[in-house]
Structure 1
Amino acid sequence: MSRPTSTRTGFAVAPAPIWRVLWLWLPLLGVAVLLVATHLQEQRTPMDMAITAPFLLALGGVLSWAFFRRRIVLENGELVVTSTFYRRRTAVSSLQLDQARIVDLAEHAQFKPGMKINGFGMPGFQSGHYRLGKRKAFCLVTDASRVLYLPTRDDRVLLLSPEHPRALLDALNAQATR
């Protein structure tokens, strides 16, 4: 008896500038400076420093790890998007590929993620669940100038920033015709 062959194709995510990690580390650095300043004024004990400083380092490490955790994979008829702390599996058959578009969010504000429902975001980077008007959107946006807008049949949207959006859209169309 033959096994079904597994197909797995990965698509590179458009890189986000490394300096965006500063949006994570600068507030943590500010808290560390406040911690040291209050310790020097003898408002904190050495035990406070011993507990808080490693916690801040661990928090910064986890958030930095999450920032770099980004993957787009087309696997066995499903589009699997992994971004920060979130993962979304969407069957290719549930995508409305005839309505898919590659957009620049600066020119098409109607496609820009709105209110964050449950996500990880900073200027120029959105990951997780957002509102797009009245619709729910799952976002992995690292480059707002080339975002793949993928509506689904259940009135949700995927907003993705693959490095080559046309290649991903072509692969999805090829998968859908099989």
Structure 2
Amino acid sequence: MARPGISAREFEVPAPPAPALWLLPVLWAGMVALVFALRHETLLRPTPGNPVPAWLVMMSAMALAFAGPFILLHVRRIRLADGVLSVNAAGLFPHKVAVAQLDLARARLVDLDAHPDFSPRVRLWGLGLPGFRAGHYLLRNRARAFCLLTRREKVLLLPRHDGRYLLLTPERPRDLLEQLAAAAGIPAPR
């Protein structure tokens, strides 16, 4: 049961690494170069009765296809309010869990390279880029988890009582763990 009087608190999530941020714009630029390198006549030739060239429509469609996920990479939020932990990963994957559903006695900080059993293996519903994971994943140990990962070290592993996990990478994971323990009314795990 959550303790009354604890105010809402936001926890910063670090930015994804450079490869994740640059992958989509580089892919878009490559697609643009490919279209112009092919010099496909139907794209470059004006169509009678259509004032918009086909190549412009194609470039706009590709820009939208790559810009959407690029913008969503910047939507990362972890919030604790009224005994509920809310995680917004990439804008499309919100997740809420009551603090009472978390097994905070087993919560800990892990390095995913040292503990590969907790690494996301199969994306069930989410977004995955080099150095960035957001959404629902199947872990290597075959457990289900909701992930918001921008790095592989200092990952806050939050087991739930139903056997699932939350894997989060807040800027200060120890602060989040202490606030969760305070919201649950238990001493902070070590």
Please say whether Structure 1 and Structure 2 have the same fold, judged by a TM-score greater than 0.5.
yes
Structure 1 vs Structure 2: percent identity of aligned residues?
34
Gaps of 5+ in 1: none
Identify which of 140, 143, 168 aligns with 2:151. 143
Q: What is the match of residue 71 of structure 2? A: 65
Q: What is the match of residue 10 of structure 1? A: 10
How many residues are treated as equivalent by the alignment?
174
The more displaced of 155-164 and 11-20 is 11-20
Asked if 1:31 corresponds to 2:31, the answer is yes
The normalised TM-score by structure 1 is: 0.90
Q: Distance in 1 between the 2:7 and 2:149 partners?
A: 25
Asked if 1:174 corresponds to 2:174, the answer is no
| 1:33, distance to aligned residue in structure 2 (A) | 1.3
Flag the structure with larger Rg. 2
1:148 alignment partner AA: L
Please give the secondary structure, in 1, of the residue aligned with 2:120: coil
Query: Would the aligned equivalents of 1:15 and 1:143 in 2 still touch at CA under 8 Å?
Result: no
Gaps of 5+ in 2: 46-52
> Within 5 Å, which residues of 2 pair with 1:91-102?
91-102=98-109
> Within 5 Å, which residues of 2 pair with 1:9-158?
9-38=9-38, 40-46=39-45, 47-84=53-90, 85-132=92-139, 133-158=141-166
Q: Which runs of 4+ in 1 moved over 6 A?
A: none
The normalised TM-score by structure 2 is: 0.85
Q: Distance in 2 between the 1:126 and 1:36 partners?
A: 33
Query: Deviation per CA, 1:93-129, whole angstroms, max 9, x where unpaired?
Result: 0000011110011111111111111110111111111
| 1:50, distance to aligned residue in structure 2 (A) | 1.8
2:30 alignment partner AA: G
Q: Distance in 1 between the 2:70 and 2:40 partners?
A: 31
| 1:52, distance to aligned residue in structure 2 (A) | 1.1
